[in-house]
Amino acid sequence: MKFLKPFLAICLFIALYSCSSDDGETTPVDNSLVVGTWNLTEVNISIPQDPNNDGTASMNMVEELPCLTGVLTISEDNTWNLNLTGLNITPVTGDFYAVQCASSFSYSGNYFFQNNQLNLNDFNFNTLTLNGSVLTESKGENLPGVLSYVYEKQ
């Protein structure tokens, strides 16, 4: 019986010490950083092109094609909606491509935001990275694909 009290005291000490205040806690996610309206400002390709024939080629097709638009709306209830004009890129010869606007598309769904990474939970989109007031979706494709889509918060 003499050893039972010290044994129970040690067990109680170990049990209390092993419980820390950070067990199972997660850092709250601040969705307010991404909630709002985001306008498409860049659709970047790997080789400068001049589809508007103004004599100045650019890697950003939004500068070249006024018809290329997109609006991403992110809501507080973890839903999103995107209206985006598609882009047709067709090889012509060498480093020249026919680049033109295609049909507009609407997408929507639920999102997850953490560590400055926005996941739209849609196979059509890669994870977007938040940097200040800019969201960037890196595609990493060379022509006839797209390198990145860039949205700025309004």
Residue-level pLDDT, tens digit, the chain, 154 residues:
554 454 444 544 454 445 545 555 555 678 999 999 999 999 999 999 999 999 999 999 999 999 999 999 999 999 999 999 999 999 999 999 999 999 999 999 999 999 999 999 999 999 999 999 999 999 999 999 999 999 999 9
Under CATH, what is the fold of the domain 31-153? Lipocalin (2.40.128)
Residue closest to 133 by CA, chosen among 17, 61, 32, 14: 32
Q: What is the CA radius of gyration of the chain?
A: 25
pTM for this predicted structure? 0.81
Q: Where are the domains of the chain?
A: 31-153
Query: How far apart, in whole angstroms, are the C-alpha atoms of residue 101 and residue 52?
Result: 11
| Count of Cβ atoms closer than 10 Å to residue 43 Cβ | 24
